[in-house]
Amino acid sequence: MVPGLVVITMAVVAMIFLSPSVTRNRGGKILAFFPLFVLPVIAGSLGGWRHLERSKETQFCLSCHVMSEHGKSLQVDDSNFLAASHFQNHRVPPEKACYTCHTDYGMYGDLAAKWRGLRHVYVQYLGSVPPPAEIKLYRSYNNRECLYCHEGARTFEEGVSHNLEPTTLPAIKSNEMSCLASGCHEQVHETETLKDQKMWRRGQK
């Protein structure tokens, strides 16, 4: 739809470009308002929205070579691998797997994610790209991102390990005890171990 609108807009703008004399009178000036203002603004806005939506896709994130190992880690045949088990069991939308876990569920989460994305592109093309195993988060993972889905869920609220101590669940919810660094869900991507892992393929048993 958006490319079609862009092509139509280009055709109308081309008419103005080829014969600007149609805008000579007042009626022509008003007529030119659509191809030179309304249509480009609509086409540009829809194009921007389309780009933003597509930038949330797993394929988009994995299109950079440096992310290929993280992409492979989604296929590990081991339910202890957090990213793989979420991806394979559709606990996150597979087509937006990276974005779902790595955006902030705060007020400006989308904006912050895009800002970090620009930084990634800068490092990819102008900086020095670290090996996949050395890629780290800018700051420790916030439980808020896990709780966005898991808070209130029975398996989370009543889980045995989450209720061993009366202080555990409140500590998790307040981000004092990390879901990832507490010895519970610590295997996430583990790209350095991938060569030793069995991989899962959809449709194979």
Partner 1 sequence: MIERKLRFAAALILAGLLVQLITLLGNHPLAFLAFIFLGSPLIFAGVVIYLYSLVSGEGTNPNHDS
For the record, the structure tokens of 176 come out as: 């004092």
CB nearer to partner 1: pick between 120 and 144? 120
Minimum CB separation of residue 61 from partner 1 in Å reads 9
Would you say 98 or 146 has its CB closer to partner 1? Answer: 98
CA 93 to chain CA centroid, Å, is 11
Binding residues (CB under 8 A) for partner 1: these are 2-3, 6-7, 9-10, 13-14, 16-17, 20-21, 23-27, 29, 32, 35-37, 40-41, 43-44, 47-48, 50-51, 54-55, 57, 59-60, 63-64, 117-118, 120-121, 124
Task: Count Cβ atoms within 10 A of the Cβ of residue 47 and give its class: 0-12 exposed, 13-18 middle, 19 or more buried.
Answer: middle
Amino acid present at 95? E
**93 contacts 100 by C-beta, under 8 angstroms:** yes
Residue whose CB is less far from partner 1, 130 or 170 = 130
Our CB check for partner 1 shows the closer of 121 and 181 to be 121
Amino acid type, 118: L
Q: What one-character DSSP code corresponds to residue 20?
A: G
Task: Please give the helix or strand (H or E) that residue 26 lies within, else none.
Answer: helix 26-33
Query: 28 or 159, CB closer to partner 1?
Result: 28
CA distance 128 to 121: 11
Distance between CA 37 and CA 170 in Å, rounded? Answer: 54
Pick the closer one to partner 1 by CB: 94 or 159. Answer: 94
Least distance from partner 1 to the Cβ atom of residue 17, Å: 4
Rounded to 5°, angle at Cα 175 from 163 and 111: 135
Gap between the Cα atoms of 23 and 15, Å rounded: 11
